[in-house]
């Protein structure tokens, strides 16, 4: 089920969380050569938030007369929206930049811009290191892109990496890139105020800020009216969403926001990511339980199962506290899916800490996990305070054990679903066959089933009985 990409693993059939290449993206009308003065191509790496940001960037550029293209050769501007989370993610980007460089040699006047977290981390150093980069633009500076492109066209090197305490791009309506027309991501906040010792995000994304509630509701409603049936509310730490509506003197917590999105229509599924275990409240859990269209699925990254390591990581919870949280979720929603992120080989990790990680995974019975080995990031708390002292072969061996355990847990979780019937939102044809549909259960599991003679379409809900499974996918049959 997992493909081991040196330091990160993901379940087959799941969207890659990071180090993903979005491939070609396009915006509406780009095929009409008369509509736009210039063409841009954008490729995204990293978390869903980066992908959502690329849709903001596309919208900003669209308004300035730039059309997106799926075709790299056709582009006047190439953007790469980058991730810094692990060294491997940065290496992938650098490799891709050398490929762009060749294109640039062939096409005079073509500009290459680096966006996102690597731009923020390296700032103008990027221009010195990667000589053929023309623009470096951080995650809070996308509004200034059109002006920066103009500067770059005039032969100057254009850089804007200013972080903001307010920017949420609330008023910008994202251009949906490569969307299936059924599910969409909606940013509800930016930045992160947690200081997990291993993590570079607080440095690349700045302070946490929540987006205006009304603009979120409007975007979700608009998506629903356009035929979308699922929204995923995005933030590094969604449970700390907090917005004060000055006019009505009303405070909107994440629980309240969830409820308001759920009330748009019972036909609109609501998901969210990511929850920090310390912040997910009973209010949120009860709201989930109350609304059938809020999906029974929580991504609850544990990182480590050892209280000692968790403390060094500055995660602010202990092993016992995390386990109690999992129990609480299962008490309120017995059918809730839970997934996790796990890091193997953090500084000072010993064999017994690693065993604690394995046993907390067993306790939590994760349906799925994203698993990594620790990669030291410059400027982070861990890099400044601790030694990256677990040898690489030990990190890899521990990661392998974590992966093997997760494979078993995933299979067991799928076995528990055999014979059960789930409400599935159809996302499209299955990858393998046009005579099968692919969709997801509320618990975020992929279900593949024959279309038979039913007149169904993408975006429809259908009840499916699970008849078989693999580690990554449930197989089923439509029930009337």
List residues binding ligand SAH (CB under 6 A): 85-86, 198-199, 201, 236-237, 274, 276, 301, 303, 341, 343, 372, 374-375, 377
**Exposure class string for 164-186: b at 16+ Cβ within 10 A, else e:** beebbbbebebbbbeeeebbbbb
CB within 8 Å of 28: residues ≥ 6 apart: 175
Structure tokens at 231: 């929204």
Residue 202 touches which member of ligand SF4, ligand F3S, ligand SAH, none, C-beta under 5-8 Å by kind: ligand SF4
Q: Which is nearer to ligand SAH, 80 or 89 (CB)?
A: 89
Q: How far does Cα 363 stand from its chain's mean position?
A: 25
Write down how long the chain is.
480
SS3 478: strand
The residues that bridge with 278 in the sheet, in sequence order, are none
Question: Between 38 and 77, how does the x/- string for binding to ligand F3S read (CB under 6 A)?
Answer: --------xx-xx---------------------------
Q: What's the closest the beta carbon of residue 193 comes to ligand SF4, in angstroms?
A: 8
Q: Please give the size of the binding site for ligand F3S, defined by CB under 6 A.
A: 14
Written as one string, the DSSP assignment of 408-438 is HHHHHHHHHTTT-EEEEEEEEE-SS-TTEEE
The residues that bridge with 430 in the sheet, in sequence order, are none
Q: Which is nearer to ligand SAH, 20 or 375 (CB)?
A: 375
Distance, in Å, from the CA atom of 308 to the CA atom of 319, rounded to the nearest integer, reads 9
Q: What's the closest the beta carbon of residue 345 comes to ligand SAH, in angstroms?
A: 9
Near ligand F3S by CB under 6 A: residue from 78, 85, 189, 295: 85
**Exposure class string for 395-408: b at 16+ Cβ within 10 A, else e:** bbebbeebbebbbe
Q: What's the closest the beta carbon of residue 374 comes to ligand SF4, in angstroms?
A: 12
Nearest residue to ligand F3S by CB is 46
Quick one: which segment of 155-163, 168-176, 199-207, 420-428 binds ligand F3S (CB under 6 A)? 199-207
Q: What's the closest the beta carbon of residue 205 comes to ligand F3S, in angstroms?
A: 5
Distance, in Å, from the CA atom of 40 to the CA atom of 149, rounded to the nearest integer, reads 11
Quick one: which segment of 58-66, 80-88, 294-302, 367-375 binds ligand F3S (CB under 6 A)? 80-88
Q: Which is nearer to ligand SF4, 236 or 364 (CB)?
A: 236
Residue 117 touches which member of ligand SF4, ligand F3S, ligand SAH, none, C-beta under 5-8 Å by kind: ligand F3S
Nearest residue to ligand SAH by CB is 341
Could you tell me which of 28, 30, 6 has the C-alpha nearest to residue 18? Answer: 6
Contact call for residues 263 and 214 (beta carbons, < 8 A) = no
Structure tokens at 65: 């007369």
Could you tell me which of 289, 285, 438, 273 has the C-alpha nearest to residue 368? Answer: 273
Question: Between 99 and 138, how does the x/- string for binding to ligand F3S read (CB under 6 A)?
Answer: -----------------xx---------------------
Distance, in Å, from the CA atom of 254 to the CA atom of 251, rounded to the nearest integer, reads 10
Q: Which is nearer to ligand F3S, 17 or 442 (CB)?
A: 17
Q: What's the closest the beta carbon of residue 101 comes to ligand F3S, in angstroms?
A: 22
Please report, as ranges, the residues that interact with ligand F3S according to CB under 6 A: 18, 46-47, 49-50, 83-85, 116-117, 200-201, 204-205
């Amino acid at each position: 089920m997992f493909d081991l990409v040196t330091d990160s693993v993901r379940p087959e059939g799941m969207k890659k969380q990071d180090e993903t290449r979005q491939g070609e993206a396009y915006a509406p009308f780009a095929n009409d050569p008369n509509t736009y003065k210039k063409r841009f191509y954008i490729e995204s790496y990293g978390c869903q938030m980066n992908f959502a940001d690329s849709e903001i960037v596309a919208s900003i550029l669209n308004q300035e007369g730039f059309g997106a293209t799926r075709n790299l050769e056709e582009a006047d501007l190439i953007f790469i929206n980058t991730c810094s989370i692990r060294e491997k993610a940065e290496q992938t980007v650098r490799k891709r930049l050398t490929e762009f460089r060749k294109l640039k040699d062939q096409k005079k006047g073509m500009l290459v811009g680096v966006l996102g977290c690597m731009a923020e981390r390296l700032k103008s150093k990027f221009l010195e290191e990667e000589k053929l980069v023309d623009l470096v633009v951080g995650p809070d500076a996308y509004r200034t892109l059109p002006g920066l492109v103009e500067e770059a066209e005039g032969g100057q090197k254009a850089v804007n990496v200013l972080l903001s305490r307010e920017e949420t791009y609330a008023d910008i309506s994202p251009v949906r890139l490569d969307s299936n027309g059924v599910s969409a991501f909606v940013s509800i906040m930016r930045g992160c105020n947690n200081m997990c010792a291993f993590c570079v995000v607080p440095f690349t994304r700045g302070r946490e800020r929540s987006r205006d509630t009304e603009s979120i509701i409007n975007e979700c409603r608009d998506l629903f009216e356009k035929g979308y049936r699922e929204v995923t509310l995005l933030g590094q730490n969604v449970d700390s969403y907090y917005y004060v509506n000055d006019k009505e003197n009303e405070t909107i917590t994440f629980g309240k926001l969830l409820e308001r999105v759920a009330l748009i229509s019972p036909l609109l599924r609501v998901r969210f990511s990511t929850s920090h275990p310390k912040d997910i409240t009973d209010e949120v859990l009860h709201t989930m339980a109350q609304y059938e269209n809020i999906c029974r699925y929580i991504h609850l990254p544990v990182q480590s199962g050892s209280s000692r390591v968790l403390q060094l990581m500055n995660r602010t919870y202990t092993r016992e506290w995390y386990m109690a949280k999992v129990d609480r979720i299962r008490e309120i929603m017995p059918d809730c899916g839970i997934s996790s992120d796990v890091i193997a080989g953090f500084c000072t990790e010993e064999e017994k800490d690693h065993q604690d990680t394995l046993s907390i995974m067993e306790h939590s019975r994760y349906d799925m996990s994203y698993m990594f080995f620790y990669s030291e990031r410059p400027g982070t708390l861990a890099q400044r305070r601790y030694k990256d002292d677990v040898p690489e072969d030990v990190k890899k061996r521990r990661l392998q054990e974590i992966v093997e355990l997760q494979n078993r847990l995933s299979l067991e979780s799928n076995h528990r679903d055999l014979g059960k019937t789930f409400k599935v939102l159809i996302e499209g044809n299955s990858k393998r066959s046009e005579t099968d549909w692919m969709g997801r259960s509320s618990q975020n599991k992929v279900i593949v089933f024959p279309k038979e003679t039913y007149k169904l379409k993408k975006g429809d809900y259908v009840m499916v009985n699970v008849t078989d499974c693999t580690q990554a996918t449930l197989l089923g049959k439509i029930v009337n």
